[in-house]
Structures are given as C-alpha cells and as structure tokens.
Amino acid sequence: MQNNFSYPLKLEDMSASTKHYEFQATPSELQYITEVLKVPEVKSFKTTLDVTFDKPQHMVIVKGKIDSLVEQISVISLNKFTQKYQINFARNYDTKLSSAQQRELEEFEDINADIPDVMENGQIDLKAISMEELALELDDFPKRKGETFNFTPDFDTESDKPQNPFAVLEKLKK
C-alpha cells in the first residue's frame, strides 16, 4: 500500500525557532487513513504541529493537536457510530540516538521514563506521527457513550462453583 499521507521533514530543514505546520486530510488521504487504521471510516482529520530543533540537546520537539471524526462499530450493539477525537501530544526525537541504543534504554530505564524516539534517515514524517497518535487513542473495544454490556448466563451460576476433588471420596465413604 502506497503511503498517501506523508510529509517528511529533514533535520537540515529544521531550526531553533518553532515552525508551525497545519494539515487537513483530503478525501484520498482520508481513505488511506481509514485503510491503515482498519476502521469503517475516518470522516475528517486535521492536525496542527509545532516543531523545534534544540541543537545543543540534539532533540527535535514535536507538539501537536489532532481533531478527527472516526466512524467505528460498537462491540456491544454492533452498530456504527461516530467518535470525535481531540488529541494533544508531544514527542521528542533524539537526532543522535540509534534504534539499538533506544532498545537498550528501554530495557534499563523505568517503564514510565520518557525515552526519545529515533529519527529514521535524518527525518521525521509529520503526517505519519499524527496518524500514529490517533491510532494510539482508538479504543480496542469501541462502544457508544452510555452503552453497557449486560451478561445473562445460559447456565446456573450456583452450580458453577469449583468442585472439591475429594468430594467423590466422601460419597464413597457413605
């Protein structure tokens, strides 16, 4: 599948002053995002990003906001519904960190530590970053607001209690 939603930004095009970027997905890009996210439909997708290169710290800082409407299928009612997403995020990219060094940091650092991401080939893809942030926010088991699952068993819950393995021996004694 060809990436139809991409905006690569090279390290040499970044500066210490914050640059502002704004993207509104076109109909063909919405189709691509829908296919990648494996949802019934992404109805709208807009992202605004601020990118700053902190050269002394060799860090690229990306701060962004996403506004998106995504059609999903409720796991409870199996009906389609539209969910609005408004996501604020921030990511740091270390310009000198390799993938191997990042894995090593992940092994030894606290799980809650903010480990920077790796820049691939000296660039980052602003649209791909935004799409990934939306993917991280999607619910694995989507349901409409207020929907609840009511389970009514087809069996007697009283007889479903764990059995003592020695209960059979008790019956043999009698």
User: What total of structural domains would you count in the chain?
Assistant: 1
Residue 2 lies in a domain: no
Residue 3 lies in a domain: no
- pLDDT score for 70: 97
Residues (pLDDT < 50) of the chain are: none
- pLDDT score for 57: 87
Residue 151 lies in a domain: yes
| C-alpha–C-alpha distance, residues 52 and 45, integer Å | 23
- pLDDT score for 157: 58
Confidence (pTM)? 0.77
* Structural domain boundaries enclosing 168: 8-173
Asked if 80 and 40 touch (Cβ cutoff 8 Å), the reply is yes
Residues in CB range of 166: below 8 A, 6 or more apart: none
Residue 123 lies in a domain: yes
Measuring CA to CA, how many Å separate 150 from each of 6, 77, 173? 43, 11, 43
Residue 130 lies in a domain: yes
| C-alpha–C-alpha distance, residues 101 and 41, integer Å | 38
Q: Tokens 């690569």 label which residue?
A: 8
Residue 1 lies in a domain: no
- pLDDT score for 31: 95
- pLDDT score for 134: 97
Q: Are strands 41-54 and 59-73 parallel, antiparallel or unpaired?
A: antiparallel
- pLDDT score for 166: 73
pLDDT tens digits for range 143-159: 888 888 777 766 655 65
